[in-house]
Chain A
Amino acid sequence: MKIAVCIKMMTGAAVDAADAFQRVGRTLPSVLPAFDTHAVEEALRIRERLGGEVVLVSIGAREGLGGLRQALGMGADRAILLSDPALADADTAGISRVLAALLQQEAPDLTLFSPWSGDIDGALLVAMTAARLGLPALGQLRSLDIADGRASGVRQAEAGNHALSCALPCLVEVNDSINKPRSVSLKGRAQANAKPVKLITLADLFGDAAPVLSQTQITDIAPAPVTRDPRLVSDKEAATELIALLRDHRILA
């Protein structure tokens, strides 16, 4: 079984204002986002059970190699990094066009995502990419089973859990409660440097006909407004005050 894991690299440090506007082309050294380690772990467990290979797929600046080496150190077999200056401000729709083309070329049986990247959270990429490929997608799974040519699992949604299933090939988004990712061993770290990483550009996928990469623009970045009104209650009266507050907010009857 060929399993692709899509990874969005995240900068390990605070980004400056100019870099923050670059949704993809951030130039600071990257780390493997914690959310993505769960997708990598799930892929490794499936490979251990069913055989095959785990291919990491990432779109971003070349500085993303550091994060990819971390995932290779966990046990993935190889990586593909699509890096192109034209992608610096690509939006989710643009990235889904590129990712769909990349996955079409690679043709995995199963493609894993995490729903959040840790910096820009939309959880839209898996559904948009799947729609472009004409493949089924299972979003936000907290369990995943691959058997008899199908992927099945339980999705955690606002109103409860959904049991979902679809035929392979498909795209699956796994959340952070699905497993406990392994840590990278010293041996794994050493082996990671010897594993193949293929660097490609947009021209390798599209030739001269580059797709539309951004239909949206970040026009401003500002801290989230504080909407809560914190209130301190005294130790002595805490229980009474808290019960009254919960009643005021209709949390308690």
Chain B
Amino acid sequence: MKALIPIELTDGGPSPDSLGVLERLAGQGLESWALVCGSSIQEVAQAVACHRCAGVLVAESESFATLAPERRAALIGDLIAQRGFAAVALATSVLATELAAQVAVRFDASVQ
């Protein structure tokens, strides 16, 4: 099963909680892909790639600078449709809550 784990950035780096989710799912045998969104994020993506995962997807754009979840939710929606991710897992945070809700409504899915 393929899982997508959007990595939240804190202080310019990947949040430890997001990396924890990534490691945990990969440890359970899932094909876990990290998603890093933002601008000038090559170093962040490389740091994420050091963790256990099938790969890192990088979405580099100034448009991800906003706190609003719509842009990220649209991207995750496209990735689910194109690459067949069965689950999206996020570390709990204020921003992740809004993103999870947007993605769930887009796919008429539920959130655990």
Q: Which residues of A are at the interface with B, using a C-beta cutoff of 8 A?
A: 91-94, 96, 122-124, 127-128, 130-132, 137, 139-140, 155-159, 162, 164, 212, 214-216
Contact = CB atoms under 8 A, between A and B. Distances in A.
B67 A124 contact: no
B102 A215 contact: no
Interface of B: 10-11, 67, 69, 93-95, 97-98, 100-102, 104-106, 108-112
A216 to B, nearest CB: 5
Nearest to A155: B94
B105 A131 contact: yes
Contacts, number: 59
Contacts of B112: 216
B95 A93 contact: no
B10 A127 contact: no
Contact of A216 (B67, B101, B106, B110): B110
A159 B94 CA distance: 10
B67 A128 contact: no
Contacts of A157: 93-95
Contacts of B100: 124, 127
Contacts of B105: 93, 96, 128, 131-132
Most buried by B among A96, A127, A216: A127
B67 A127 contact: no
A127 B98 contact: yes
A124 B101 contact: yes
B109 A127 contact: no
A140 B94 contact: yes
B104 A128 contact: yes
B97 A93 contact: no
Most buried by B among A91, A93, A162, A164: A93
Nearest to A164: B67
Which are the 9 A-B pairs with shortest beta-carbon distances?
A127-B101, A131-B105, A215-B110, A93-B110, A157-B94, A128-B101, A127-B98, A216-B110, A123-B97
Contacts of A96: 105
A4 to B, nearest CB: 19
A131 B97 CA distance: 12
Contacts of B106: 131
Contacts of B67: 162, 164
Contacts of B101: 124, 127-128, 130-131
A72 B43 CA distance: 55
Most buried by B among A91, A124, A214, A216: A124
B10 A139 contact: no
A162 B111 CA distance: 25
30 contacts: A91-B110, A92-B111, A94-B110, A122-B111, A123-B97, A124-B100, A124-B101, A124-B104, A124-B111, A127-B69, A127-B98, A127-B102, A128-B105, A128-B111, A131-B101, A131-B102, A132-B105, A139-B97, A139-B98, A140-B94, A156-B94, A158-B93, A159-B10, A159-B11, A164-B67, A212-B108, A215-B109, A215-B110, A216-B110, A216-B112
A86 to B, nearest CB: 17
